[in-house]
Amino acid sequence: DEPLREALVYSGVAGAGIANIGAAGNTGEVYALTPQENHRVDEAAVSGVENKAPVTAAIGMSLREAIGMAKDAARIGASAVMSHQPVDPFAAPSAQIDYFCNLADASPLPLVAYVRADGFNVDDMVRLAGHGNIAGIKFATPDLMLLSRAIAASDPAGALFVCGLAESWALSFTAAGARGFTSGLVNVAPQLSLAVHDALSKGDFAAARAIINRLEPFERMRTKFRNGANVTVVKEAVTHSGLDVGPVRVPGLPLLDQTDREELFRLLQGWEAAGDIHGHGDLRPSR
């Protein structure tokens, strides 16, 4: 039962204490899903989380579709929505900011603007951060100069700048002024991710760095094939833990090759031996 499997994943993440649950996540397979399928994922997230944490639903596509998806997300009980900037090879940076702002104007829920492209400037970021219905900016480009300048120029009471490049970049982003980070690892080893967050919250960069060094092989593997393995590594790790979530849809890499899969499983087995992750028991599939 696919909705049940999805709900189990979200239930595990929420039960571990993750502060905000991203359904489909925009980095996930949202662009390979139909609107109806995306809606089912959002429903599974709301059901699985059971009010333990806010649910941020993934939206996107054309502006009209995104607005409709935001309204659907509000109807099923999501707390916020997140949209990637339009995935269009001919998009103008200023018009991508217009997309976010127009979407935020029409959305009944707060918007997280997922910024993952070059070409934006400080004024663009300030404009996003100052919009009354944009709650956060998932900053997912390694341009730390732009990030630090944008944070300095933005109203501190405006949108929150969040590290959008997961644990590996969280330390550098925190030093630049970002707060928190997004994570795919939480689907597999939420306690490790929480340990990074706790160390950064305390300003203990040495402790955070030590944990991040342990996670680095996992995150590095996700960057293979121009980040085409980003979701693949997470899904194969979840399946290894005992909950078969299937392959990734194209254009993402459907499955890891045997060499990468064995490397991933060795890493996971090391974490299991250290007590950092726990499987899903009798849901483990045969492989």
Which sequence spans correspond to the domains of the chain?
2-164
| Res 232 pLDDT > 70 | yes
Residue 285, pLDDT score: 35
| Res 198 pLDDT > 70 | yes
Identify the band that residue 272 occupies on the pLDDT scale cut at 50, 70 and 90: very high
The pLDDT of 235-243, averaged and rounded, is 95
| Res 108 pLDDT > 90 | yes
Rounded Cα–Cα distance for residues 159 and 33 (Å): 28
The pLDDT of 240-264, averaged and rounded, is 95
Q: What is the mean pLDDT of the chain?
A: 94
Q: Shortest CA distance to 171 belongs to which of 239, 219, 125? A: 219
Residue 180, pLDDT score: 98
Identify the band that residue 280 occupies on the pLDDT scale cut at 50, 70 and 90: low
| Structure tokens given for 22 | 């991203």
Identify the band that residue 35 occupies on the pLDDT scale cut at 50, 70 and 90: confident
Residue 4, pLDDT score: 87
Residue 279, pLDDT score: 65
| Res 281 pLDDT > 50 | no
Measured CA distances, 255 to 113, 171, 183, 216, 261 (Å):
29, 30, 20, 20, 9
| Res 145 pLDDT > 90 | yes
| Res 220 pLDDT > 90 | yes
pLDDT > 70 fraction of the chain, expressed in percent and rounded: 97
| Res 21 pLDDT > 90 | yes
Identify the band that residue 168 occupies on the pLDDT scale cut at 50, 70 and 90: very high
| Res 287 pLDDT > 90 | no
Residue 254, pLDDT score: 97
Rounded Cα–Cα distance for residues 287 and 273 (Å): 20
Residue 147, pLDDT score: 98
Residue 261, pLDDT score: 98
Residue 209, pLDDT score: 98
Rounded Cα–Cα distance for residues 70 and 87 (Å): 18
Measured CA distances, 240 to 25, 27, 252, 261, 264 (Å):
21, 21, 19, 10, 10
| Res 286 pLDDT > 50 | no
The pLDDT of 127-150, averaged and rounded, is 98
Residue 28, pLDDT score: 74
Q: Shortest CA distance to 218 belongs to which of 242, 248, 240, 198? A: 240
The pLDDT of 6-15, averaged and rounded, is 93
| Res 51 pLDDT > 70 | yes
| Res 283 pLDDT > 90 | no
Class of domain 2-164: alpha beta
| Res 151 pLDDT > 80 | yes
Rounded Cα–Cα distance for residues 196 and 147 (Å): 21
Sheet holding 55-59, edge to edge: 21-23, 55-59, 80-84, 111-115, 134-139, 160-163
The pLDDT of 108-128, averaged and rounded, is 96
| Res 226 pLDDT > 60 | yes
3-state secondary structure of 190: helix
